[in-house]
Structure formats: structure tokens, C-alpha cells
Amino acid sequence: MRGCPHGRGTQTAATTDPSRVHHRVQAGRGRVGSQHRPADRADANELGIYDSTLGNWVGQDRIDRGEAEGLTTEERARLRQLAAENARLRMERDLRKRTVVFWVKETSTP
């Protein structure tokens, strides 16, 4: 947690996680981040977040709707999942290698 820039205490995952406030961006789509009026500091203050965070969320919403180029939220989640799985598999492989080396040393020394 960190201090909120707007003097409202601290920011938690509930206020900073885009998936948890996606409905806020969706609800404000007609007024926030639209061609009628771009997201601004007042909107961020209303949500208790940094204006750059709101800009990131609005930009990601545009990508998710196909209005901009980039990785969708689902694609990003899948990449994170694959990276975690890849790291786990590497650790398992390295452990097996060390086990074999240890076993060979133990059985080959008289």
C-alpha cells in the first residue's frame, strides 16, 4: 500500500487493480476517455487514483474493445500465466539436474 496522492489515506489493490474497477471505466465510458471528453485529473480524484493510472485503464479499455493496437487484458493474463508456468518448469528441471548430479557423485565414489 502507498499513500494516496489525493489525501484519502492509502491505496489498496481494491482501488488500484484495473480488473476491480473495470466497471467504473465501463460506466464512465461515455464521459471519461471518450472523444467527447478525455479522462482528466478530476476523474482520477473522484476515483482516488493517479491521473496516469486512469489514463492507463482507459487506454487498456480501448485495446480491449479493439479501438487500439496492443495486448488485451485476457492476453496479458495468459502471458503472465505462461511466464509463471515456464519459471516453475525451469525450477523443476534444474532440481532434477542437481539431483542426478548428486546421485551420480554419491554412487560413483567408493
Express each pLDDT in 2-25 by its tens digit. 455 555 555 555 455 666 556 566
CA 33 to CA 43: how far, in whole Å? Answer: 10
CB 31 within 8 A of CB 40: no
CB 40 within 8 A of CB 34: no
What pLDDT, on a 0 to 100 scale, did the predictor assign at position 1? Answer: 43
The more confidently predicted of residues 11 and 102 is 102
CA 102 to chain CA centroid, Å, is 40
What does the pLDDT look like over 16-58, one tens digit per residue? Answer: 566 655 656 655 555 555 555 666 788 788 888 888 888 888 8
Q: Half-sphere exposure of 17 toward its Cβ, with a 13 Å CA cutoff?
A: 6
What pLDDT, on a 0 to 100 scale, did the predictor assign at position 4? Answer: 55
